[in-house]
Structure 1
Amino acid sequence: MSDNKEIAKQVIAAVGGKENINSVTHCATRLRIMVSDESKIDKNKVEDIEKVKGTFYNSGQFQIIFGTGTVNKIYEEVVGLGASEGSASQVKEESKKQGNAFQRMIRTFGDVFVPIIPVLVATGLFMGLRGLLTQEQVLAVFGMVPTDISPNFLLYTQVLTDTAFAFLPALIAWSSFKVFGGSPIIGIVLGLMLVNPALPNAYAVAGGTADPITMFGFIPVVGYQGTVLPAFIAGFVGAKLERWIRKRVPESLDLLLTPFMTLLVMSILSLFIIGPVFHSLEEVVLNGTIWVLGLPFGLAGLVIGTLNQIIVVTGIHHLFNFLEIQLLANTGVNPFNGIITASIAAQGGASLAVAMKTKSKKLKALAYPSTLSAFLGITEPAVFGVNLRYFKPFVFGLVGGGVGGFFGDLVGLEATGMAVTVIPGTLLYLNDQIFLYILTNIIAIGVAFVLTYLFGFSDKMKEEIEARKDV
């Protein structure tokens, strides 16, 4: 087995040498390399390197999938061998020059949103556990009824489940300021202004127990708890405004005037213009999404379950995060999760079929861990490392996702959170839905597995495809 340093040497050589590397960084699973000349990359050579689970070129970056943990070690060795180390922001700046306007927009949205994901994952798990603790069937096992639970304990669990969404604008404004070059602390304060307790609570207004404040006789103003777009736009505009002011204020007055003027102007814009306008737009998007999800006979699940992993491949799947957050913040449930889970599980089922059918030890060593990764909710290794490489497994994975999504939508699966799927996702269904959730996953995996095993892969097909790549 090659050590990580040897693997790093092979990676550098296969991408055209150190002179072809502008900068290198990594995310949770992928080594991300900005190169000067894409034509110098020997993709087949990279994919033959030990521990490499797949590669693809997207938005100006050559990305090599190593998997969680491994990628950190390979990254350290690559940098240690003299490759130019780049911060994530530097790589983003270089990648901004590549890709069309829509790709750049989606990439920027992802840059803002990704740092917030961990707390939303934790909140989703808290929601699942709280749902478990308050289920009569579960309490009955311990000889308890709901009234036996201490009100103070329930209050504590509410703190765990509500905080992230109540102060979501502060998180988004903080991240937006950071991405767009402003001071994150100003972003936090601006975001907190949007949910200040002095404003009518958005949930109370929606529930009819509070009324908006009317400013200037015609502008309705409420708190923006759980909203996304107002905070995102406010963060973008605020960061640009802060930088504009800072360039024009004398250094001796910068500490005093820049944050004062930024917060003053942005509080007016955010509460009286950006907030009302984009909150209304979010309502339109949310209502449209709910309408799609309300299509009869499981049609929404069929369409979304089939197309989801295609969207993941294009890299614009961060849009789903926006929709899931809005659904949770406004309706308390997330019907997207069960559908998307089916699409993820199905890719794992297709990868498992490849692993079990092939006689290639190297492909087995790649496909089995990739399958496990998909069943834990991360499909990149399975999709890019196995299924897309041989194409038919990917297509049958889409079919499995569509069938599983159709069933999940038909039976009305609704998650209590977001961002975890398949096996970890069971924590979002620890109520009377758990059986249907498991059955949805089994259907998706089963359809993809059977179709791939029977019609989607053979070692002969593998050899023919790899031979064409070598031409």
Structure 2
Amino acid sequence: MGKYEEDVVKLLEYVGGKENIAAVTHCVTRMRFVLNDPSLADEKKIETLPSVKGMFTNAGQFQVIIGNDVGTFYNEFSAVSGIEGVSKEQGKQIAKKNQNPLQRAIAVLAEIFTPIIPAIIVGGLILGFRNVLGEINFNDATIVSRSVFWNGVNDFLWLPGEAIFHFLPVGITWSITRKMGTTQILGIILGITLVSPQLLNAYAVPGTAAADIPFWDFGLFQLDKIGYQAQVIPAMLAGFLLAYLEIFFRKRIPEAISMIFVPLFALLPTIFVAHAVLGPIGWWLGDIISNVVNSGLTSSFSWLFSFIFGALYSPLVITGLHHMSNAIDMQLISTYGTTNLWPMIALSNIAQGSAVLAIIFLHRGNKREEQISIPSTISAYLGVTEPAMFGINLKYVYPFVAAMIGSGFAGMFSNIMGVRANAIGVGGLPGLLAINGTEGGGWLAFGGAMAIAVVVPVALTILFEKNGLFGKKEEVAVETATIAPQAANTNTNQQTTTETHSERLYSPGEGRIVSLDVVNDPVFSTNIMGEGFALRPTTNQVYSPVNGEIVSIFETKHAIGILTKTGAEVLVHMGLDTVELKGEPFTVHVKVGQIVTPQTLLAEMDIAKVKAAGKETDIVVVMTNNEKMADYILNHKGESTPGLAIGEYKVRGH
């Protein structure tokens, strides 16, 4: 009998049986199902399985979090079900069949904006800081007017600020070619031709008389030399045209001369059409979209518009439609300089976290649930709401409804007070940093909106549970009553019969040590997999973070399992989502059964190759057997070298 055979048999039944599985694959922590009918998956029953740490649905895939031993679980599942797995990329392609045309379009939009969001976040912080320095009066004078140093800082910071926002089309056209699998340097060149200094800056166009606009004279016709700085839709239209032309000519031009003629025939026509047709059309469409949204948020019915948007943003996240807001926000910033939409999104993050906070209070003592609810609250307050929504709020329904109502009222208050953001990307409580402090109510009004986003969801969640509204009160009461005493008894026994043993944690390489909550993967950042840390490496070498024995090496070489003498199961995960790279950037220097120390070179990760594939290079170290972990402390963050002692943990042993 296999280690997980009982759970495997039940999981097969709970996902709707073999006939409901279109495809199944796995990464280093999760089983990834593509289900013919997702509604047949019984999430409540799946959650009761001892080997399941959580689940969520994303991009048409039903993902069940197993943990470090997912490879064994997957093999046993394949043996029991008789279903052969597919690659992760094949799974994604099959999953698209579960999406309608609108969902597929939104997914494409998300894939375009996701790689450039980090730059947008940084740009928002820079603009917010410059706003403090140069726009806000302190005793009738700004900081830059009082200090030569801060005036210089303010002037210098415009360099990256302009690069991020004015030259945004370069990032968009690059991201499209990356997503479409075409030549990325051509996308960059196309973007530069949309924002070239030879062109009249887009911000100067409204104030320039028609007769003064420069143009190219082709004899038969003339073409205006207008730039598209910060414009989203013109860049998207041009980027897709370039990608499709390259794909078209690549299929038809012989390989021997394709290096010359494919780029030529794809790039030059795209640049011309972009300036002659797509740019003006895109500008026109962008203005219509931004004017409609801004009119809705500034009209006499703005209170209703903002309440509805604030309340419905979280359901949009579930469907994936929320990715449209990125393009709308950037268009609003391009047209008006700021956006009144993003503050409401940040408030929705806070509301979801607050609803989970109320659940923590109501279900205190439920240790199993707290492994999800506590990190989910932190994650939501920092702007990532999926763990909170899928792990807690949608499970009970009534906290999700409470969060929607709280988000609606907070968004309505924010918009009525005229709160606007300089940029997007900074969500949750840190969203305050993106707020324009001089327009409307500024930071003070947004602070009031944040208070509403905390108080209302907490109060309503408690009220709804006490009165059995929007959920089944009996089920909640039974679950809390049955799990909490067991957890309490377990703790009592451990206190009397369990001894703890301390071990040290060491840096697995050269780079910067960061806490898990900043890792761009909710399974790691919310501690669902366990406590730990991450290294943002500057060299390719990866060393053991503990003293122990190698017990597993993932087949795609990107993850290694180590068992310490005290029984801690330590996972070293190299890069994020690097299972897709099929081992290409990794060279493993150890084997199963080998004893390792912090001086042992586990593997080498080709950082350049990982980055070129569009993946993040974080090396994540987590202790995956939570039930044995008694305490964990990370003593050091920041720059580190291999073998540097950075923390310690305690393991329960009998």
TM-score, normalisation: structure 1: 0.84
Distance change (3 Å), C-alpha of 1:31 and 1:110: farther
Find the aligned partners of 1:133 and 1:319 in 2 and give their Cα distance: 32
Distance change (3 Å), C-alpha of 1:53 and 1:401: farther
Find the aligned partners of 1:52 and 1:122 in 2 and give their Cα distance: 36
Which residue is 1:242 aligned to? 246
Aligned pairs (5 A) from 1:54-69: 54-57=54-57, 59-64=59-64
Match of 2:332 among 313, 327, 351: 327
Offset from partner CA, 1:147-185 (integer Å, 9 cap, x none): 634654333110121211122111111111122231111
Which residue is 2:448 aligned to? 439
Match of 1:273 among 269, 272, 277: 277
Kindly provide the amino acid, as one letter, of the partner of residue 11 in structure 2.
A
Which residue is 2:11 aligned to? 14
How far does residue 347 in structure 1 lie from its aligned partner after superposition?
1.5
Contact kept in structure 2, 1:221 and 1:272, CA below 8 Å:
no
How far does residue 51 in structure 1 lie from its aligned partner after superposition?
9.6
Matched pairs, number:
454
Find the aligned partners of 1:77 and 1:162 in 2 and give their Cα distance: 50
How far does residue 262 in structure 1 lie from its aligned partner after superposition?
0.9
How far does residue 202 in structure 1 lie from its aligned partner after superposition?
0.6
Identity across aligned pairs (percent)? 32
Distance change (3 Å), C-alpha of 1:125 and 1:77: farther
How far does residue 75 in structure 1 lie from its aligned partner after superposition?
7.7
Helix, strand or coil: the match of 2:422? coil
Find the aligned partners of 2:260 and 2:143 in 1 and give their Cα distance: 61
Kindly provide the amino acid, as one letter, of the partner of residue 421 in structure 2.
A
Contact kept in structure 1, 2:307 and 2:408, CA below 8 Å:
yes
Distance change (3 Å), C-alpha of 1:189 and 1:430: closer
Aligned pairs (5 A) from 1:63-78: 63-64=63-64
Q: Structure 1 residues 212-221 or 326-335, which shifts more?
A: 212-221
Aligned pairs (5 A) from 1:47-58: 47-48=47-48, 54-57=54-57
How far does residue 341 in structure 1 lie from its aligned partner after superposition?
2.1
Find the aligned partners of 1:437 and 1:74 in 2 and give their Cα distance: 45
How far does residue 117 in structure 1 lie from its aligned partner after superposition?
0.8
Find the aligned partners of 2:319 and 2:35 in 1 and give their Cα distance: 22
Distance change (3 Å), C-alpha of 1:53 and 1:219: farther
* Stretches of structure 1 lacking an aligned partner (at least 5 in a row): 1-5
Match of 2:359 among 346, 354, 361: 354
Find the aligned partners of 2:405 and 2:388 in 1 and give their Cα distance: 16
Which residue is 1:385 aligned to? 391
How far does residue 358 in structure 1 lie from its aligned partner after superposition?
1.6
Which residue is 1:3 aligned to? none
Contact kept in structure 1, 2:34 and 2:95, CA below 8 Å:
no
Distance change (3 Å), C-alpha of 1:31 and 1:206: farther
Which residue is 1:414 aligned to? 420
Helix, strand or coil: the match of 1:417? coil
Which residue is 1:464 aligned to? 475
Aligned pairs (5 A) from 1:46-445: 46-48=46-48, 54-57=54-57, 59-64=59-64, 86=87, 90-134=90-134, 136=136, 145-146=145-146, 148-149=148-149, 152-208=152-208, 211=213, 213=215, 217=221, 220-296=224-300, 298-359=303-364, 360-429=366-435, 431=437, 433-445=442-454
Contact kept in structure 1, 2:144 and 2:154, CA below 8 Å:
no
Offset from partner CA, 1:219-268 (integer Å, 9 cap, x none): 54511111111221222221121121112222221111111111111112
Contact kept in structure 1, 2:169 and 2:235, CA below 8 Å:
yes
* Stretches of structure 2 lacking an aligned partner (at least 5 in a row): 79-83, 480-654
Helix, strand or coil: the match of 1:97? helix
Contact kept in structure 2, 1:227 and 1:279, CA below 8 Å:
yes
How far does residue 204 in structure 1 lie from its aligned partner after superposition?
1.2
Greater strand share, structure number: 2
Helix, strand or coil: the match of 1:419? coil
Contact kept in structure 1, 2:54 and 2:64, CA below 8 Å:
yes
Distance change (3 Å), C-alpha of 1:154 and 1:315: same
Find the aligned partners of 1:138 and 1:10 in 2 and give their Cα distance: 64
How far does residue 110 in structure 1 lie from its aligned partner after superposition?
1.0
Greater helix share, structure number: 1
Q: Structure 1 residues 424-433 or 134-143, which shifts more?
A: 134-143
How far does residue 276 in structure 1 lie from its aligned partner after superposition?
1.3
Helix, strand or coil: the match of 1:194? helix
Which structure carries more relative contact order (alpha carbon 8 Å, separation 6+)?
Answer: 1
Contact kept in structure 2, 1:366 and 1:385, CA below 8 Å:
yes
Find the aligned partners of 2:369 and 2:314 in 1 and give their Cα distance: 22
Kindly provide the amino acid, as one letter, of the partner of residue 188 in structure 1.
I
Indicate the RMSD between aligned Cα atoms, in angstroms.
3.7
Q: Structure 1 residues 321-330 or 34-43, which shifts more?
A: 34-43
Find the aligned partners of 1:186 and 1:150 in 2 and give their Cα distance: 39
Find the aligned partners of 2:69 and 2:286 in 1 and give their Cα distance: 42
Q: Structure 1 residues 170-179 or 32-41, which shifts more?
A: 32-41
Which residue is 2:32 aligned to? 33
